[in-house]
Structure 1
Amino acid sequence: MASSRTIYLVTTLDTKREEIAYIKNLLDLKNLNCKIVDISTQPHQFNHLAAIAAETVASYHPNGKQAVFCGDRGKAIVAMADAFKLFLMAQNDVEAILGLGGSGGTALITPAMQSLAVGIPKLMVSTMASGNISGYIGASDIAMMYSVTDIAGINVISRKVLTNAANFIAGSVLFKTQDTIEDKPAIGLTMFGVTTTCVQSVSAKLHDQYDCLVFHATGSGGKAMEKLADSHLLHGVLDITTTEVGDYLFDGVLACDEDRFGAIARSKIPYIGSCGALDMVNFASPDTISQKYQDRLFYSHNPQVTLMRTTPEENKKMANWIANKLNQCQGYVTFIIPEGGFSALDIEGGAFWLPKANQAFIDEFEKIFIQTEKRKLIKTPYHINSPQFCDLIINEFTKVMK
């Protein structure tokens, strides 16, 4: 199989040249187009092995290659990671990518992998793959393969692992198929257990027109949805459940990051938002909760998940944060506030019913949010899980999509 597109094989040739050459030889036997990319952070004598030399990659750093070849290992790794990400984003022939590394190499390679669109095969063979890999994967579709032994030469174990890695990436290219199904426009929806009724109802009513992709609002869920928005794989967003913001601001375990809503601004994607589950912050078991929250109102969702009711002051801070983020969006944005309650627990007679906290959110949001021809605020007296609120969401989304 000859192709003008390329499998990028990425590693630090000063330490992993034998292993990456072994993988390339296996892929060459399948007549696959491959390039070795060197991301070493110090000069060495093996440049002849690389199609793309480390100096070339380093030159993509905004401050030039001297920012990478600085003599400080920690700074060099950070700089090369930035340079490689910019290098990879500048290539238009990436068929697949395979990385090989220990802790430093994995930290160098995976940020660039995350910048690639979902669907491009990405495999990271790493000594770090047996631990917590969330920081390496982010919201991307990176596959991690544990190297078992250290990546330090070809031996009876590494030969098996590296052969599997080569076959993995070869198979993803050789058996790539084009979808024969004509896809409906894809939209992203955010959901939590306490907003399930709303999101399921909306999805069911939109199912015939749209491919409804529901994301669990657990921090990684919001990031995954926005990753697809950044990759232009979504036609619209129904961000009904923005609870990740509360966790981010108040030490919760299901937090977004500072870039929440950033993809909405960058992509200008049609957006309908709401304040689903902003009445709570998520923690693990009670014994893990910080002492500063010990006098608060809690609800045990299950033995491993404890919910804390947000206060008026916290709701005001969340409203300010979200409104300022949405003010940066130039596409169509509609934010709908369900005055009847933000979650299944935030309902009259419910465990988190606290109207003054919700009102603090509403007052602050109205004060900060700048309405324009494309950006508007709607308040409705209904509860977030009510049929009336669901119908309002659908009606507004239909208007925006037209």
Structure 2
Amino acid sequence: MVKVSLIGTCDTKLEELLFLRDAIRRADAGVEVVLIDVGRHQTQHADITLSRNDLLKMTGNDQSVADLPRGEVIKKMAECATVAVQGFLERDEIQGIIAAGGSGGTSLAATVMRNALPIGFPKMIVSTVASGDTGPIVEETDITLMYSVVDIAGLNHVLRTVLNNAGAAIAAMARSYALRSETTSSKKRVGITMFGVTTPAVDAIRKHLESHYNIETYVFHATGHGGKAMERLVRDGSLDAVLDLTTTEICDHLTGGVMSAGPNRLQAASEAGIVNIVSVGATDMSNFGPKATVPQQYKHRKLYEHNSVVTLMRTSEDEAHEVGTFIAAQLRAYAKKPEFVEVWLPMGGVSMISTSDGPFADEKADAALFGAIKKGLAGSGIKTIEDKRDINDPNFARDIAEALAKQMAISQ
């Protein structure tokens, strides 16, 4: 028997949730649906598997949430549902999860899915806000979103069609997950960060590691969510080493760019004590949207239109020093095993557009970056390697890959 958990607010959307339950069953009669009510008010219905009161009692919360502000209700019910879903997962009682709702229901369900379930577990939300800014919903996970087109407020031809599609999709995903044969690979798992301007280096590193060693690489696009995704997998124990070549997300964190991974960047691998080779790929830039969206205080800066939707801003000397200080401080503070951490500094250019003939060439800014890192790591036990080549030099890529492999062999 394959089971899918269905999360929703039964006090406001019971009719739509029951239709989605039936759509799942129509798609695959062998799939059982576990309906979890996360509504503000208690709803009595024979088809609700876990009621709102059941969830509250399960987590020791006997008091009603009906009188709480909406935001507090969402937070409390998300906490309760997370505990329930985690229990289902640990007992192997569900093979998929789906939700349907508006902005509040989407926020609640997404919180449960992000906090309770690992990457790879089938997750889907039919949402009225799925066509907008979905970053805060998905974050660094693999939640599948389906736009409801119309509001989830009464059944009609459009909503029935969307819910039927969603039901068929999650039924198939859960069935596939249940039948999947997980085999343990002997290969070591290495995370690598990449950006468009460091792609040649990452491609060379990936091919070298996979052709010369028993290594499987996982490449993460350093767009903010990419860095967080890599660090999530580190914390889950799903990576054995990290080659953090492209740390550009730090620039966005410090300057207000659109691709920040937040203030905790660089902590996970250091805290895990795994081999962690760090470089400064694409730290010559912060990222913004179309040129017209660049904040007013940066309009006078050196800007480069990467494409019609991405504008790059060259890191100033002061900002470069701040980036270097951040990198050194994070590694120094969180490195559980400093001997497994190295920082490589490509003096010939930190991206394909900051080499000597590139539009972002700036020797003073690069010197400020390198100097802050070296000063910040002095006496820490973390090795810094100054290399005259640029980051995309094939030989630099080969050598940094070899350094990673050497450290991994030592760490075994």
- The two structures have a TM-score, normalised by structure 2, of 0.86
Q: Distance in 1 between matches of 2:305 and 2:363?
A: 21
Letter of the 1:213 partner, please give it: Y
**CA RMSD, Structure 1 to Structure 2 (Å):** 2.8
Q: Secondary structure at the match of 2:313?
A: strand
The Cα offsets for residues 27-66 of structure 1, whole Å up to 9 and x where unpaired, read as: 45613233111111x23232654322323434677x9565
| Deviates most, 247-256 or 153-162 | 153-162
Whether the 8 Å CA contact 1:300–1:307 is kept in 2: the answer is: yes
Give the deviation of 1:236 after TM superposition.
Answer: 2.1
In structure 2, C-alpha distance between the alignment counterparts of 1:207 and 1:226, rounded to whole Å: 21
Given candidates 229, 245, 250, the residue that maps to 2:250 is 245
Which deviates the most, 113-122 or 351-360? 351-360
The corresponding residue for 1:97 is: 97
* AA of the residue aligned to 2:148: S
Q: Is the 8 A contact 2:279 2:344 kept in 1?
A: yes
Q: Does 1:395 align with 2:402?
A: yes
CA displacement at 1:69 relative to structure 2: 4.7
Alignment of 1:253-272 (within 5 A): 253-265=258-270, 267-272=272-277
Choose which of 182, 185, 188 in structure 1 pairs with 2:188. 185
CA distance in 2, matches of 1:138, 1:12: 23
Distance 1:207 1:48 in 2: 54
Q: 2:144 matched to 1:138?
A: no
Residue 82 (structure 1) shift = 3.8
Matches within 5 A, 1:207-356: 207-208=210-211, 209-265=214-270, 267-326=272-331, 327-330=333-336, 332-356=340-364
CA displacement, residues 251-299 of structure 1 (integer Å, 9 cap, x when unaligned): 2222222332343245444321110011111223332222212332223
Q: Does 1:363 align with 2:366?
A: no
Q: Report whether the alignment pairs 1:380 with 2:377.
A: no
Cα 1:31–1:193 change in 2 (3 A) is: closer
Question: In the aligned structure 2, how far is the partner of 1:206 from the partner of 1:68?
Answer: 54
Q: SS of the residue aligned with 1:124?
A: strand
Name which of structure 1's ranges 293-302 and 233-242 shifts more when overlaid on structure 2. Answer: 293-302
Q: CA deviation at 1:97?
A: 0.4
Question: Mean alpha-carbon deviation: is it higher for 330-339 or for 181-190?
Answer: 181-190
Q: Distance in 1 between matches of 2:62 and 2:263?
A: 29
Given residue 31 of structure 1, which amino acid in structure 2 is its aligned partner?
G
- The 8 Å contact of residues 237 and 271 in structure 1, kept in 2 or not, is answered as yes
* TM-score, structure 1 normalization: 0.88
* Residues 297 and 87 of structure 1: CA distance in aligned 2, closer, same or farther (over 3 Å): same
Question: In 2 relative to 1, CA 371–10 (structure 1 residues): closer, same or farther, beyond 3 Å?
Answer: farther
In structure 2, the gaps of 5 or more residues are: none
C-alpha separation between the residues in 2 aligned to 1:283 and 1:26? 42
Q: Calculate percent identity across the aligned residue pairs.
A: 35
The count of aligned residue pairs is 396
Q: CA deviation at 1:118?
A: 1.5
Contact 1:183 1:211 in 2 (8 A): no
User: Equivalent residues in 2 for 1:23-172 (5 A)?
Assistant: 23-27=20-24, 30-40=29-39, 42-46=40-44, 48-58=46-56, 64=61, 66=63, 68-91=65-88, 92=90, 93=92, 94-115=94-115, 116-172=117-173
Q: What's the CA shift string for 1:192-219, capped at 9, x where partnerless?
A: 2221221121112112232222222222
Residues 319-364 of structure 1, C-alpha deviations (whole Å, 9 max, x = no match): 2222232231425322222223211222223322222222222232
